[in-house]
C-alpha cells in the first residue's frame, strides 16, 4: 500500500469564493499546477476530499460538483498535473434538499471519504497526509491516523487566530509549502510525530 496526499479543495487547491456555484468563479492558486505536478512526479497519489454542503442547501447540484472537478482536472492536465481521484460529501444536517439533508459518515472530519479512497486506491492512510485550510481537515487527519497540515490560505489564517491553542503536524503558508514539507520528510525518512490532540 502507498501513502497519499489528501487535499481539501476550496481554500487549499483553489481559491475559496464562498459557495462555488459557477465555473466562471473557479480560480486555481498560482502554485497549484506546479505543486500537484511535483507530487505526481514523486509517485504520491493526490486525492481531493471536500465537503460540498451547497448540494444539501440547494445552491448547486452534485452534477455541478462533478463538472467543477472535471474543469479542475482539465486545467491541471494542461500543465502536466493530475488529481488521482475526487471524493465529495454533499450532505449537511441543516440542509433542505432530500436526500442530502442528513447526518452522514463522509462529512469531514468524519473518515468516510478517506476510508473509501483507501479501499479504492489501496492506500496506507497511516503514512498519508491531509492538507487543508480548516481545523476540521486536521481533525480528519487525526481521526484517520494520518498526518495533518494546515495552510494559511483560504480560511487558514483566520482559523489559527480563532483557535491558537490547536496544533497540526505542520502549519505552512500554502499548498506549495505543504508539498515541500511532505517531500522533505519522505526523502529524509523522518517519522512525522505531531501533537495528537484532537482539534475538534
Task: Answer yes or no: 10 catalytic.
Answer: yes
Residue 23: Cβ within 10 Å count: 12
Task: Answer yes or no: 66 catalytic.
Answer: no
Angstrom CA distances, 149 to 25, 29, 134, 137, 141, stand at 26, 17, 10, 8, 9
Query: Which of the following is catalytic: 8, 133, 137, 169?
Result: 8
Take residue 73 and report the three cell numbers written for it: 482536472
3-state secondary structure the chain: CECCEEECCECCCECCCCCCCCHHHCCECCCHHHHHHHHHHCCCCEEEEEECCHHHHCCCCHHHHHHHHHHHHHHHHHCCCCCCEEEEECCCCCCCCCCCCCCCCCCCCCCHHHHHHHHHHCECHHHCEEEECCHHHHHHHHHHCCEEEEECCCCHHHHHHHCCCCCCCEEECCHHHHHHHHHHHHHHCCCCCCCCCCCC
* Residues designated as active site: 8, 10
Amino acid at each position: 500500500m502507498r501513502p497519499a496526499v489528501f487535499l481539501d479543495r476550496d481554500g487549499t487547491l483553489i481559491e475559496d469564493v464562498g459557495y462555488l456555484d459557477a465555473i466562471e468563479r473557479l480560480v486555481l492558486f498560482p502554485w497549484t499546477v506546479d505543486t500537484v505536478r511535483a507530487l505526481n512526479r514523486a509517485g504520491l497519489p493526490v486525492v481531493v476530499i471536500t465537503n460540498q454542503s451547497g448540494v444539501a442547501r440547494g445552491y448547486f447540484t452534485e452534477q455541478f460538483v462533478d463538472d467543477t472537478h472535471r474543469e479542475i482536472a482539465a486545467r491541471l492536465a494542461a500543465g502536466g498535473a493530475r488529481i488521482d481521484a475526487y471524493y465529495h460529501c454533499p450532505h449537511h444536517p441543516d440542509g433542505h434538499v432530500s436526500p442530502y439533508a442528513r447526518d452522514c459518515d463522509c462529512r469531514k472530519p468524519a473518515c468516510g471519504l478517506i476510508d473509501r479512497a483507501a479501499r479504492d486506491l489501496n492506500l496506507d492512510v497511516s503514512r498519508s497526509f491531509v492538507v487543508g485550510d480548516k481545523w476540521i481537515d486536521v481533525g480528519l487527519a487525526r481521526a484517520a491516523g494520518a498526518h495533518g497540515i494546515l495552510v494559511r490560505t483560504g480560511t487558514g489564517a483566520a482559523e489559527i487566530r480563532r483557535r491558537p491553542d490547536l496544533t497540526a503536524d505542520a502549519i505552512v503558508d500554502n499548498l506549495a509549502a505543504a508539498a515541500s514539507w511532505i517531500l522533505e520528510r519522505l526523502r529524509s525518512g523522518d517519522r512525522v510525530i505531531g501533537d495528537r490532540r484532537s482539534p475538534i
